[in-house]
Structure 1
Amino acid sequence: MKNVPLAEVDLVDRAVLPIGTDYPLGHVLDWHEHRRAQFLYGATGVMIVDTADGTWTVPTERAVLIPAATSHRVRMLGVSTLSLYIEPAAVPWWPATCTVVDVSPLLRELLLAAVDFDIDYRLSGREGIIAELLLHEIAERAPLPFHVGIPASADLAKLCREYLASPDAGVTNAAWAARTAMSERAFTRRFRSETGESPAVWRGRARLLAAVPLLRTASVSAVGGRLGYASPAAFTAAFTRTFGVPPSRFTGSRQPAGHGRDW
């Protein structure tokens, strides 16, 4: 199924509903939730997924697992998606929070095949086997660290979301503490208790996440300089240490073969 609103097919008697959608650049799916769990794969572009608990950046050819009944917002940056909407009872192992995962070549090909299914695809034979195999392949995916947590308290959450929107290497713990009318020591202790990280470590990770969409249209050197790194080498080292791959893996507008944008 392609470009079909989930609401029109949500109650169809199929545990796995594959839907492909092509989004305009910068399109935002505002806060919403699904009755089903969602496997959201970006065949092209970059997706940024927000929940009350965190922000997940999903590079090209990766996917995010979204739990059922989780309120979320998605910003699409040149994205064609292949989504699976899955009955929660069919995936009791689904993660309790959003999780970014890699997508193997086999899983990608299964997704491409499934998106051509009719709404009432056959449960026996090829189509039913592909739907079942999709769930087995997703269960084997390992999580990737493309996320930051958001504090539960409103004042700290506001600081974090503002920083994610406009990361600035010059921001200090003292500046954040002043905005919350706390001492720097008390602020740092409170921030760590809510996120598990110091404010400085959190900001460093947030800056690196911000690099992923920027790398679609700018060089490693330009992105590193924009985010306040002293040199491309310093930026590359920090990015690789955090995410396990160099930033050069995300440069350019990549559109893999077989992932057409004519949906």
Structure 2
Amino acid sequence: MGRNETTLREDVPRPVIAFGSEYPDGHVIAPHHHRRGQLLHGSTGVVLATTRHGTWMMPPQRGMWIPPGVVHEVQMLGEVRMRSLYFAPEAIHGMPERCQVVGISALMASLLAEAVALPAEYELEGRDEALMTLIQHEMRHLPSLPLSLPLPASPALAARCRRFLRSPTPHDTIDGWCEALGLSRRSFTRLFRRETGLSFVAWRQQACLMAALPRLAAGQPVTTIAIDLGYDNPAAFTTMFKRVLGASPRAYLRVS
């Protein structure tokens, strides 16, 4: 991801290596995978990662965990300034086997800033090694954030989900989806939860959030976004946003 890092990040004989990168709005990194696990952290812009299992969206000041071997495509929404950590598989025991968006503590943000300033082959004794060891410990304490959108394997249901993502709205109903798919309500709810791990209502909320975040990060008014997504008023959108993410839209994206 920039600076001819593809070979470096795999082959440097260190358990953790770090790089800083910058990308223009709209830049896409084609599907690829790493032998190492990866932690992304963006200070600006929104990063969208897609795998065959779903989509993950990383707002500014948050992070994203991508396990070793997972094929993923990355898209930049806005100008992105990013730091990346790459972990040898033996250095990340206990980390999730699927992608996750995670919170980044002030300590971890400081550690990331220090890590990218180190040479790729940093000293294995003293401060450099201690810093990277502390990063490995902190990795296991990063809180997971509800910013993923799993996609079902069932072709008909997956097609319906992708169509919804092109124009998400809080007003789509289970009954409407049941009718379109020719399923009973009970069959639909069981299938949807089995294939996504979420209820339909929770998945619908996630889709609306993920449609809103890039626009919020770009500075668009909350009122405009709420109306475009089909909410009756900005207060209803803000209430949903706070219930899921624990803060108002503006507070959530405010740089600390």
Q: Aligned equivalents of 1:128 and 1:161: distance in 2? A: 45
Q: CA deviation at 1:95?
A: 0.9
- SS of the equivalent of 1:249 reads helix
Q: CA deviation at 1:183?
A: 4.7
Matches within 5 A, 1:70-149: 70-77=70-77, 78-149=79-150
Matches within 5 A, 1:113-262: 113-183=114-184, 185-216=186-217, 217-250=219-252
CA contact (8 A) 1:4 1:19 kept: no
CA contact (8 A) 1:121 1:127 kept: yes
CA contact (8 A) 1:2 1:19 kept: no
CA contact (8 A) 1:191 1:198 kept: yes
> What is aligned with 1:64?
64
Root-mean-square deviation (Å): 2.2
Q: CA deviation at 1:3?
A: 3.1
Q: CA deviation at 1:114?
A: 1.1
> Partner amino acid for 2:3?
N
Task: For structure 2, list consecutive stretches of 5 or more residues without a partner in the other structure.
Answer: none
Q: Aligned equivalents of 1:204 and 1:239: distance in 2? A: 9
> Partner amino acid for 2:113?
L
> Partner amino acid for 2:51?
T
- SS of the equivalent of 2:44 reads coil
Q: Aligned equivalents of 1:4 and 1:111: distance in 2? A: 20
> What is aligned with 2:30?
30
Q: CA deviation at 1:250?
A: 4.5
CA contact (8 A) 1:16 1:87 kept: yes
Moved more, 209-218 or 158-167: 158-167
Percent identity of equivalent pairs: 40
CA contact (8 A) 1:218 1:251 kept: no
Gap change, CA 1:117 and 1:220, over 3 Å in 2: same
* TM-score, scaled relative to structure 2: 0.90
Residue correspondences, number = 254
Q: Aligned equivalents of 1:237 and 1:169: distance in 2? A: 13
Q: CA deviation at 1:176?
A: 3.5
Q: Aligned equivalents of 1:242 and 1:112: distance in 2? A: 29
- SS of the equivalent of 2:223 reads helix
Gap change, CA 1:161 and 1:124, over 3 Å in 2: farther
CA contact (8 A) 1:53 1:149 kept: yes
CA contact (8 A) 1:148 1:202 kept: yes
CA contact (8 A) 1:3 1:20 kept: no
Q: Aligned equivalents of 1:165 and 1:128: distance in 2? A: 46
